[in-house]
Amino acid sequence: MADEEVSVSFSGSSQSQAMIPGPVGSSMIPIVNKLQDIFTQLGNSSTIDLPQVAVVGSQSSGKSSVLEALVGRDFLPRGSDICTRRPLVLQLVHIPRRSDAPAEGGEEWGEFLHLPGKRFYNFSEIRREIQAETDREAGANQGVSDKQIRLKIFSPNVLNITLVDLPGITKVPVGDQPSDIESRIRTMILSYIKHETCIILAVSPANADLSNSDALQMARIVDPDGSRTIGVITKLDIMDKGTDARNFLLGNVIPLRLGYVGIVNRSQQDINFSRSIKDALANEEMFFRLHPVYHDLSHCCGIPQLAKKLNKILVQHIKTVLPGLKSRINSQLVAVAKEHAAYGDVAESKAGQGVKLLNILTKYCEAFASMIDGKNDELSTTELSGGARIYYIFQSIFVRSLEEVDPCADVTDDDIRMAIQNATGPKSSLFVPDVPFEVLVRRQIGRLLNPSLQCAKFIYDELIKMSHDCQANELHRYPILRKCMDEVIRNFLREALQPAETMITHLIEMENLLVILMQEGLDTDKSQTSEKAQKTRAVFSRSGANGVESYYLSGASGSSWGFSTIFRVSENRAPTTNSSSNKPHSIPTQNVDNSPSMIQLREPPAVLKPSESHSERETLEITITKLLLKSYYDIVRNNVEDTVLKAIMHFLSLLHGDDVTSSICRPNYKLHTDCYIQLSAVYIIDGALTIMFILSLNRKMTD
């Protein structure tokens, strides 16, 4: 694209008599400006970084004076405190000079992006609007905001340039400014200048130590080689006598590839006495022409040179980044066109709109059911998904966790022994009492409740995730509908979870309420307890164990061995012969009066515990109780694993796809028919406009 030249008059200088030709880039810069306006409305959703010039400097470094000199008009807020409190995107647009235009002010105006269609011919009104818009967003007491103000200045006296005036770096907070105001402003500045597409205009006052310039330090952070930084040295006329900035302007101190430009600003006294920019430019030209140090540096001194330099560098920079910019826009154009095609046409009748909405909801429900059943089109080969995750939660997490529990892990032999002795009361028992067994087994059954409820919650969470994963691309264009569907699904599953948890609680309570001693699983020769049973029978078969005949303990009447032979007397029990030979010999009693002294018993302690050593009978009773406790726990655990799974599947409607469909479609269909009409129209219109604009931009870039 060839550079175009235009004659631009900077009022007041001798160069205003002879017009200054300069490269304008009248095709590229306006296109970039238009893109910036669009991307600003998109907010942070834009991923394309456009070329721009960011003005960086400390507070009172003269940034505002430089911008006003480039425009040739007073239009920026002034004051002793921080003036720029929001980023000001200033787009200078060159327009041809009209022959019939009045000499002053009739052919220059400004436009704000937030006030479309309104032109400001009075630049004092522009200043007031900038101040008012700043106060609306950042407050009236020196607050700072990162939200942009976009202003276009149309004038025949400017070159096409786009600049971003950023807040000045300040050290001490004032007013409503936070204590970390310096850090916030630096972060805001870095968010602009860190992009490679940004040209940095580093403004530094000459009456300060230039080697410690905040602007140059910030620029060096993101541009260490100075390849995209322009140095601007202001207030050259008020440097200490005997000093000058010649070496800085020549790049001998801090080299910058794009060089430096020296500027003479209007003083505060000039502003107070309303000295015009026209007079200030004339004074600047005379200063550099007559100064013994700067008179031979006309190529890098003065506002006209800065304007030409900025214009030329910006145009060249756009040319440099144009190929990559075009490539990114083309790739996004393809994506937008594909998305636009997927939107389809807007149904004209309400019936057609309702059918469209119903189809969307039906497809969603079908996708949800297919994901649970494992019939979805996109099957993952890298991880479990859908119903497979639910099966994994049941089998690998819930069932395995229950199987790893040892019901006797937290029950010691002393606990069992103590319970048995407490259950027998004041007399000894011929058989193992069943009360200790019931107490201990109920305690273990109660432990099954919490993992069962956790399993139901895990399945609920998994179904919520699946409801998000199965949303079709077509549904993403309706955020309100999608949000409502998420809420309906969540409410539906939450309402189903409550009765499922109640049912699980009842199942555990049922198992805990009635301990049935006559269980088939507790009878002999079951595979999981056969080894333990054989060992225990070996203990039982010892004759005369604890005074009980081996006939009863070894189950001589049959192969049945379990609760019936331990907790009750066998029906085939043989009568005991009461022979005199079995009676112990009688011990002759002695006369008490003949005893030498009385036997005194010691008082029993407050807390009684059995002796530490176990008798043979106690060891046998403990072994029997632990064996039966494990056997009964396994029976209950199997029942719980089976019934909990069925309860969750039933109440969460994993087996009833119609319930899910009706629960989603019923509340959404009526509520969102009108929303669908409006959203469809908006999305299709926006998509069409986006494609038309990008195609137009693509043609201009190609030209």
Lowest mean pLDDT among 52-56, 306-310, 435-439, 669-673: 669-673
Same domain? 76 vs 144: yes
Same domain? 371 vs 321: no
Sign, Cα dihedral of 220, 222, 227, 232: negative
Using CA atoms, how far residue 573 sits from 434, 555, 556, 565, in Å, is 20, 10, 10, 11
Lowest mean pLDDT among 131-140, 292-301, 524-533: 524-533
Residue 139 · residue 82 · CB < 8 Å = no
Q: 94 — phi, psi (to 5°)? A: -80, 130
Instruction: Quote the pLDDT of residue 215.
Output: 92
In a domain, 351, yes or no: no
| Greater model confidence, 292 or 48 | 292
Same domain? 380 vs 502: yes
In a domain, 601, yes or no: no
Q: DSSP strand E in 630-674: where?
A: none
Same domain? 377 vs 323: no
- Integer Cα distance of 629 and 436 in angstroms: 10
pLDDT band at 574, cuts 50/70/90?
very low
Instruction: Quote the pLDDT of residue 510.
Output: 87
pLDDT tens digits, residue range 138-171?
777 767 888 889 999 998 888 888 899 998 888 8
Same domain? 304 vs 402: no
pLDDT band at 55, cuts 50/70/90?
very high
Counting DSSP H helices and E strands in the chain, the numbers are: 22, 11
pLDDT band at 552, cuts 50/70/90?
very low
In a domain, 353, yes or no: no
In a domain, 683, yes or no: no
In a domain, 590, yes or no: no
Share of the chain above pLDDT 70, in %: 67
In a domain, 178, yes or no: yes
**403 sits in which H/E element:** helix 400-403
Using CA atoms, how far residue 691 sits from 220, 272, 688, 696, in Å, is 39, 51, 5, 8
Give which of 138, 132, 161 is closest to 86, Cα–Cα. 138
As a 3-state breakdown, the chain gives helix, strand, coil percent values, each rounded to 5, of: 55, 10, 35
Mean pLDDT of 529-551: 44
Same domain? 295 vs 234: yes
Share of the chain above pLDDT 90, in %: 14
Burial of 545 (0-12, 13-18, 19+ CB in 10 A): middle
In a domain, 595, yes or no: no
- Integer Cα distance of 688 and 672 in angstroms: 24
SS (H, E, C) 547-583: CECHHHHCCCCCCCCCHHHHCCCCCCCCCCCCCHHHC
Retrieve residue 544's tokens.
């005369």
Instruction: Quote the pLDDT of residue 27.
Output: 67
In a domain, 698, yes or no: no
- Integer Cα distance of 633 and 641 in angstroms: 12
Could you please report the per-residue DSSP string of 430-469?
SS--HHHHHHHHHHHHHTTHHHHHHHHHHHHHHHHHHHHH
Amino acid identity for residue 421 in this structure? Q
- Integer Cα distance of 434 and 521 in angstroms: 17
Same domain? 278 vs 403: no
Residue 81: is its pLDDT beyond 90? no
Mean pLDDT comparison of 268-277, 428-437, 572-581, highest-scoring range: 268-277
Mean pLDDT of 46-50: 72
Same domain? 303 vs 374: no
Residue 601: is its pLDDT beyond 80? no
Same domain? 376 vs 323: no
Instruction: Quote the pLDDT of residue 172.
Output: 80
Same domain? 293 vs 442: no
- Could you tell me the pTM of the whole model? 0.53
Mean pLDDT of 322-327: 83
Mean pLDDT of 11-27: 46
Give which of 454, 473, 465 is closest to 489, Cα–Cα. 465
Mean pLDDT of 467-473: 72
Lowest mean pLDDT among 13-27, 133-147, 324-338, 607-621: 13-27
Same domain? 279 vs 391: no
Instruction: Quote the pLDDT of residue 207.
Output: 85
Instruction: Quote the pLDDT of residue 202.
Output: 94
Same domain? 124 vs 244: yes
Find the domain containing 11 and state its range.
Answer: 5-183+194-328
Mean pLDDT comparison of 238-247, 266-275, 422-431, 616-625, highest-scoring range: 238-247
- Do you know the residue count of the chain? 703
Mean pLDDT comparison of 25-34, 256-265, 412-421, 652-661, highest-scoring range: 256-265
Final residue in a domain of this structure, among 328, 356, 385 = 328
**What is the residue whose two structure tokens read 């106690």?**
618
Q: What is the CATH number of the domain that holds 218?
A: 3.40.50.300
- Integer Cα distance of 611 and 438 in angstroms: 24
User: Domain tally for the chain?
Assistant: 2
| Greater model confidence, 580 or 258 | 258
Instruction: Quote the pLDDT of residue 655.
Output: 47
Residue 603: is its pLDDT beyond 80? no
pLDDT band at 614, cuts 50/70/90?
low
Instruction: Quote the pLDDT of residue 193.
Output: 93
Q: What is the CATH number of the domain that holds 441?
A: 1.20.120.1240
pLDDT band at 560, cuts 50/70/90?
very low
Instruction: Quote the pLDDT of residue 314.
Output: 86
Average pLDDT, the chain: 74
